[in-house]
Chain A
Amino acid sequence: GAGVSQSPRYKVAKRGQDVALRCDPISGHVSLFWYQQALGQGPEFLTYFQNEAQLDKSGLPSDRFFAERPEGSVSTLKIQRTQQEDSAVYLCASSSWTAGGGGYTFGSGTRLTVV
């Protein structure tokens, strides 16, 4: 597609429920990032994929968070047993391998509200 697509756009989950957030990057983009943006804050790094390999997951806040990109294209961020503090916008960004400092294309995000 022409841009980075994220779904669902909005998700309301009851506390304790598992959720799965999808990111469809720009076709051919090797690098894929997930960020978490709490209300009134800047985006915080969660994890990074290069193709199907998850090379950095140091930003995942707990072992309830899990991300995968099994075929090197679509990625899924899964949150188990959601808590209220997980409420945030989850942003996905992708870039071609040679982008270096060229910046990334961000999706519109998934707004997760845990009630």
Chain B
Amino acid sequence: AQSVTQLDSQVPVFEEAPVELRCNYSSSVSVYLFWYVQYPNQGLQLLLKYLSGSTLVESINGFEAEFNKSQTSFHLRKPSVHISDTAEYFCAVSELIQGAQKLVFGQGTRLTINP
């Protein structure tokens, strides 16, 4: 079974500073990888995904993640954060079950932006 480890439960940063949220997964076979964001009292929203091709994927709001197969990592980065980025971020890996891709989530990283 797949597993996902998010190494930091909380990451506090100052506004406009860079940030990296770390994610490692267990599988050595081909996988799909995802980052989801959860704002307070809201559901999960897909931030970005890696399916195949270029190992660097980007979101529309300035986040990017790089798939590193040798290190089984999919770290999320942003060069300059904004107050509105305050949220919980979940890394997930897919696991094929019965013809569908089940998502296995990490424990989450709470990103807090300080002014």
Q: Give A residues with C-beta under 8 Å from B.
A: 4, 31, 33, 35, 40-45, 48, 50, 55-56, 91, 93, 95, 99-104, 106-109
Contact = CB atoms under 8 A, between A and B. Distances in A.
A101 B32 contact: yes
Contacts of B104: 45
B44 interface: yes
A43 to B, nearest CB: 5
B98 A91 contact: no
B112 interface: no
Given A41-B108, A42-B106, A91 B90 contact: no
A54 to B, nearest CB: 10
Interface in B58-115: 90, 94, 97-108
B100 A31 contact: yes
A56 B43 contact: no
B102 A101 contact: no
B108 A108 contact: no
Contacts of B6: 42
Given A43-B105, A106-B44, A101 B99 contact: no
Given A43-B103, A48-B97, 5 more contacts: A4-B43, A100-B101, A101-B32, A101-B101, A103-B49
A102 B49 contact: yes
A33 B6 CA distance: 23
B100 A43 contact: no
30 contacts: A31-B100, A33-B103, A40-B107, A41-B107, A42-B105, A42-B106, A42-B108, A43-B44, A43-B103, A45-B102, A45-B103, A48-B98, A48-B100, A50-B98, A55-B97, A55-B98, A55-B100, A56-B98, A95-B100, A99-B101, A100-B32, A101-B32, A101-B51, A103-B46, A103-B49, A104-B46, A106-B36, A106-B43, A108-B41, A108-B42
Contacts of B105: 35, 42-44
